[in-house]
RNA sequence: GGGCGAUUAGCGCAGCUGGUUUAGAGCAUCUGCCUUACAAGCAGAGGGUCGGGGGUUCGAAUCCCUCAUCGCCCACCA
């Protein structure tokens, strides 16, 4: 073996093995006769950089994939990136702006060229970063939501859904940014509390001079677009208004009174002005009561011709001006201070203007039905299951999906408008022309007459196809790959995109494949800092993942994240987690140093070593079974903790210490061979969690052929467990700890051999182990404790170590007394239970029997304590 | 405002359909050790009555009600 340093240095090891895995194409998968196991990566933003959320998410995926691979499955993890329409376009716009170029100065083609340049420059950085983490993705399959296959899939799906009647054009209130001149998605609107005013305005009742009602509004300028006033039908104060009309102040328009329970009677005056063009709820009322809708704003937020007055003036200037005019006309009842939430644009900070516009929608009702059922029936299992509730709630209240975005970066909507104002939907321009001619019966139409819809599709409209389109299942639904890998096995993602992404993938899966897209969805938590704040750039509380990998090693960081991350729970990140991971790596490293430093000789196996080998075999099998069970339930951090304890406590602190030969002497072959085998098994078990160090040590452990790797070695399977042996061993450990405690208290060095007195019997067969680990020169059965001995108890048996000096009887008594109290209290509880007739009558027999055993055990212990106390007092 | 979930050692968690010794590990803490793999270490120890109150039950951290606190999702009052 080459010399191993005293500390594990990850940097060199990591790059070396990642290159080796790549060189031998160990991540690559192709359909074959084995059982498939597949995960598709949640595609990160193509120009993004790795953050802690990605680290967590991808570590989990890698653990699952590596484990499956070692279980002999044909494991595939498909990587890729997302074009992230809104955020990428915003970045490109910002970059151009910094160069003094406005998006409006460019043609679509010019802008897209800049966007592609940007994508090529920064695209894929994040995937390179994932490699540093050890991600075992099949990079040969790297996809992009805007590459050829994925783009054509998106367009095909749009056309299919349109032809099925599931896509339609509709008018909807969008969040309009008057500064950026674009619609924003709801996610881009930031609501801020603002100090504003509630204006109480008088609306005169038509035909009843002098009679008026008062309407409260925060936006007096929108009265220009008022087309009704609404009151609650249950509001007796206004029942007299039924069927009447009122005059919009200043404007002079006569509008109807409508009655709808939407209006809260106790807010403001109970009268609501209705402006269907400029308020989402008013829009709904307008639809319901067939009200006209007057759009009073230009795209830039100034008053349009339709406003009739203040034309061309900015909306906020109008608010001031109109209030002056209203006051002058004595139409203002009062003005109150009022705090309300105002939507601002995430990009420009401009106040959002709700604006009606025509958008494309997907009908969701039919799509949602099978998707809800699939999760309800656990065809798709959610981990943790609490997300089922959330999902159900959303799916049963689902709204149609607005899929058009006023962007250039993305998949342009495949709809072409004809000169007559109608439109056709087709996969290509040529098809569109054919359809247009068919539709209009006008053979003279040419491509130049068709104008494609300038808008793009929502990013999620491409990512909802991801598990299908990655295998080209949309364009070639019968191809070998989609048949083999679909449905994929697990999906790992954050719960905040359960609706945006997970739900829609499920819908797409059932709609286009007739089957669920994956079997399990593991929802990770959100990574927070240690005081619970979400990690964010602005707070500067997010560590740079690559820096962490530099400091702690990829394996250390992976372990640190996994230890703290039960499914669905947020994780409070702290560097100390990675430190623990790094320390564990070091522990493993040094354990190998120890083992490799041993010489062997042809000699007999010591009994203590034989026991240790037997015992650890059982321990290992028990843990293997436990890990299998936990991983099956996606309880990854618990599984890792089990492995951690197995390696650190059981293997290093107990097993290795027991079999360790005396200084300078060699080890017998049998034990050495067993130890290497155990080490090998442990490394395999650890590999999916900590791929790099295990690969490195696996090489040091035994020679290998070029191309071999622990990552394709077989995962150990649990074997038989000798429970009796395990129990005896645990008792032995307690006895050893008892002796060690005495050493600590009495300042006796480990080197000094001691004598152990036993009042009773040792756990069967454990003597050699106890002798070695406690460094005993003699173990003697005694009837009664030696006065100069210091005692401890394991179970009902008292052990003692004779010392040269007198032991303070007071101290001994005190300890015994404390023990006595504990067991007495316990016994009282048990006895009370057993004395309760209803307990004995109603509780299952096994439970009663157990209580009886507790009673007997505790009584025996108390007797032993009493005897010890008596002996002490009699001295 | 509606819904969901949480509240267990200093910290972040486990404790599954109520009953295996008056609650379990990890980290941190404390004590003693540089013992020839590892001080990124070794050995040992202490620490909670399970958010408050009420109820069901022979028996509750575990089930029900209620209050409190926190978190998440949805809707949002003009």
DSSP string covering A742-766: HHHHHT--TTS-EEEEEES-PSTT-
Q: Examine the pLDDT at A1 and tell me if it is beyond 80.
A: no
3-state helix, strand, coil in chain A (%, to 5): 50, 20, 35
pLDDT of residue A709: 97
Sheet holding A451-452, edge to edge: A423-425, A415-417, A451-452
Is there contact between A626 and strand B, defined as CB under 7 Å from any strand atom? no
Q: Examine the pLDDT at A543 and tell me if it is beyond 50.
A: yes
pLDDT band at residue A303 under the 50/70/90 scheme: very high
pLDDT per residue as tens digits for the range A702-719? 888 999 999 999 999 999
- Whether A470 and A141 have beta carbons less than 8 Å apart is answered as yes
pLDDT of residue A3: 64
Q: Examine the pLDDT at A575 and tell me if it is beyond 80.
A: yes
Backbone φ and ψ of A660, nearest 5°: -55, 125
pLDDT of residue A243: 92
The C-alpha atoms of residue A543 and residue A863 are separated, in whole angstroms, by: 59
The C-alpha atoms of residue A315 and residue A223 are separated, in whole angstroms, by: 12
Is there contact between A360 and strand B, defined as CB under 7 Å from any strand atom? no
Distance A822 CA to B66 C1' (A): 35
The C-alpha atoms of residue A555 and residue A561 are separated, in whole angstroms, by: 10
pLDDT of residue A704: 87
Neighbours of A584 (CB within 10 A): 25
Q: CA distances (Å), A74 to each of A5, A38, A67, A142, in order?
A: 36, 8, 11, 18
pLDDT of residue A825: 81
Place of tokens 């009664």: A784
The C-alpha atoms of residue A402 and residue A425 are separated, in whole angstroms, by: 17
Q: Examine the pLDDT at A596 and tell me if it is beyond 70.
A: yes
Q: C1' nearest to CA of A4: which nucleotide?
A: B37
Place of tokens 């009994």: A607
* Beta strands A254-259; A271-274: pairing state: unpaired
pLDDT per residue as tens digits for the range A815-851? 788 888 888 888 888 888 888 888 888 888 888 888 8
CA atoms within 13 A on the CB side of A250: 25
The C-alpha atoms of residue A280 and residue A356 are separated, in whole angstroms, by: 9
- Whether A528 and A572 have beta carbons less than 8 Å apart is answered as yes
Q: Taking residues A401-419, report their average pLDDT.
A: 94
pLDDT band at residue A154 under the 50/70/90 scheme: very high
CA atoms within 13 A on the CB side of A569: 13
Distance A381 CA to B16 C1' (A): 17
The C-alpha angle A304, A309, A311, rounded to 5 degrees, equals: 35
Helix (H) or strand (E) holding A564: none
Q: Taking residues A187-191, report their average pLDDT.
A: 75
- pTM listed for this prediction: 0.92
Is there contact between A854 and strand B, defined as CB under 7 Å from any strand atom? yes
C-beta within 7 A of nucleic chain B, residues 183-212 of A: 186, 191, 198
Strand, helix or coil for residue A381? strand
Higher confidence at residue A741 or residue A267?
A741
C-beta within 7 A of nucleic chain B, residues 326-345 of A: 340-341
* Out of A65-79, A522-536, A735-749, least confident range: A522-536
C-beta within 7 A of nucleic chain B, residues 764-783 of A: none
Q: Token pair for residue A695?
A: 């690969």
Q: CA distances (Å), A488 to each of A466, A467, A515, in order?
A: 11, 7, 10
CA dihedral over A447, A453, A455, A456, signed as positive or negative: negative
Residue A284, C-beta contacts closer than 8 angstroms, at least 6 positions apart: A262
C-beta within 7 A of nucleic chain B, residues 569-608 of A: 569-572, 576, 579-580, 582-583, 585-587, 590-591, 593-594, 597
Is there contact between A546 and strand B, defined as CB under 7 Å from any strand atom? no
């Amino acid at each position: 073996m080459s010399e191993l340093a005293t500390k594990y240095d990850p940097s060199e090891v990591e790059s070396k093995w990642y290159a080796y895995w790549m060189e031998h194409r160990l991540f690559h998968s192709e359909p074959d006769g084995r059982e498939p196991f597949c995960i598709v990566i949640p595609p990160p933003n193509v120009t993004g950089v790795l953050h802690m959320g990605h680290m967590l998410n991808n570590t989990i995926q890698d653990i699952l994939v590596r484990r499956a691979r070692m279980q002999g499955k044909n494991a595939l993890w498909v990587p890729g990136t997302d074009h992230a329409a809104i955020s990428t376009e915003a970045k490109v716009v910002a970059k151009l702006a910094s160069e003094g170029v406005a998006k409006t100065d460019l043609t679509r083609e010019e802008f897209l060229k800049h966007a592609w340049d940007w994508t090529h420059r920064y695209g894929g950085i994040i995937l390179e970063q994932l490699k540093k983490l050890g991600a075992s993705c099949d990079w040969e399959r790297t996809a992009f939501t805007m590459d050829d296959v994925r783009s054509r899939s998106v367009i095909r799906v749009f056309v299919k859904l349109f032809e099925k009647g599931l896509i339609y054009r509709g008018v909807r209130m969008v969040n309009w940014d008057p500064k950026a001149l674009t619609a924003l998605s709801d996610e881009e609107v930031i609501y801020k509390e603002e100090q504003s005013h509630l204006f109480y305005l008088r609306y005169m009742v038509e035909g009843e001079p002098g009679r008026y009602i008062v309407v409260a509004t925060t936006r007096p300028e929108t009265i220009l677009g008022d087309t009704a006033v609404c009151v609650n039908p249950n509001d007796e104060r206004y029942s007299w208004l039924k069927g009447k009309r009122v005059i919009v102040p200043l404007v002079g328009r006569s509008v109807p009174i409508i009655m709808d329970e939407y209006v809260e009677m106790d807010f403001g005056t109970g009268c609501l002005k209705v402006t269907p063009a400029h308020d989402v709820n008013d829009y709904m009322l307008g639809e319901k009561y067939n009200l006209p809708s007057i759009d009073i704003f230009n795209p830039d937020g100034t008053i349009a011709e339709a406003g009739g007055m203040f034309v061309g003036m900015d909306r906020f200037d109008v608010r001031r001006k109109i209030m002056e005019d209203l006051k002058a006309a004595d139409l203002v009842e009062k003005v109150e201070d009022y705090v309300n939430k105002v939507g601002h644009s995430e990009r420009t900070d401009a106040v959002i203007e709700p604006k009606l516009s025509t958008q494309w929608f997907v009908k969701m009702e039919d799509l949602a039905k099978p998707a809800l059922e699939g999760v309800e029936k656990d065809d798709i299992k959610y981990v943790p299951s609490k997300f089922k509730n959330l999902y159900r709630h959303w799916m049963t209240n689902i709204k149609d999906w607005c899929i058009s975005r006023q962007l250039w970066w993305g998949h342009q909507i495949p709809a072409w408008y004809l000169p007559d104002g109608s439109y056709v939907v087709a996969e290509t321009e040529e098809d569109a022309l054919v359809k247009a001619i068919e539709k209009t019966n006008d053979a003279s139409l040419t491509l130049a007459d068709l104008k494609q819809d300038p808008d793009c599709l929502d990013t999620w409209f491409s990512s909802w196809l991801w598990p299908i389109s990655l295998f080209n299942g949309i364009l070639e639904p019968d191809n070998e790959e989609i048949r083999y890998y679909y449905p994929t096995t697990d999906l790992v993602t954050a719960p905040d995109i359960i609706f945006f992404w997970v739900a829609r993938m499920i819908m797409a899966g059932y709609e286009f494949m007739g089957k669920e897209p994956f079997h399990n969805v593991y929802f990770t938590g959100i990574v927070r800092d240690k005081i619970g704040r979400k990690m964010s750039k602005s707070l500067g509380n997010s560590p740079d993942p690559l820096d962490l990998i530099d400091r702690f090693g990829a394996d250390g960081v992976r372990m640190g994240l996994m230890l703290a991350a039960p499914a669905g729970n947020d994780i409070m990140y702290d560097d100390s987690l990675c430190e623990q991971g790094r320390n564990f790596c070091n522990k493993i490293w040094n354990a190998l140093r120890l083992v490799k430093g041993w010489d062997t000789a042809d000699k007999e196996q010591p009994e203590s070593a034989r026991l240790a080998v037997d015992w650890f075999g059982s321990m290992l099998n028990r843990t293997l079974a436990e890990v299998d069970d936990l991983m099956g339930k996606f309880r990854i951090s618990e599984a890792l903790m089990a492995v951690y304890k197995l390696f650190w406590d059981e293997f290093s602190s107990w097993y290795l210490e027991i079999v360790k030969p005396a200084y300078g002497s060699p080890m017998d072959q049998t034990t050495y061979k067993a130890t290497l085998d155990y080490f090998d098994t442990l490394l395999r078990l650890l590999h999916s969690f900590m791929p790099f160090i295990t690969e490195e040590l696996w090489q040091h452990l035994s020679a290998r052929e070029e191309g071999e790797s622990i990552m394709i070695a077989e995962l150990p399977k649990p074997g038989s467990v000798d429970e009796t042996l395990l129990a005896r061993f645990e008792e032995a450990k307690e006895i050893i700890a008892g002796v060690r405690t005495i050493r600590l208290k009495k300042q006796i060095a480990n080197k000094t051999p001691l004598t152990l007195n036993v009042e009773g019997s040792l756990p069967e067969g454990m003597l050699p182990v106890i002798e070695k680990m406690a460094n005993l020169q003699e173990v003697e059965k005694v009837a009664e404790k030696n006065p100069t001995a210091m005692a401890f108890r394991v179970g009902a048996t008292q052990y003692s170590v004779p010392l040269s000096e007198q032991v303070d009887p007071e101290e001994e008594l005190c300890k015994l007394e404390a023990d006595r109290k504990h067991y007495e209290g316990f016994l009282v509880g048990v006895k009370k239970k057993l004395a309760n007739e209803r307990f004995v009558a109603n509780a299952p027999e096994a439970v009663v029997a157990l209580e009886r055993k507790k009673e007997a055990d505790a009584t025996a212990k108390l007797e032993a304590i009493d005897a010890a106390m008596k002996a002490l007092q009699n001295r």
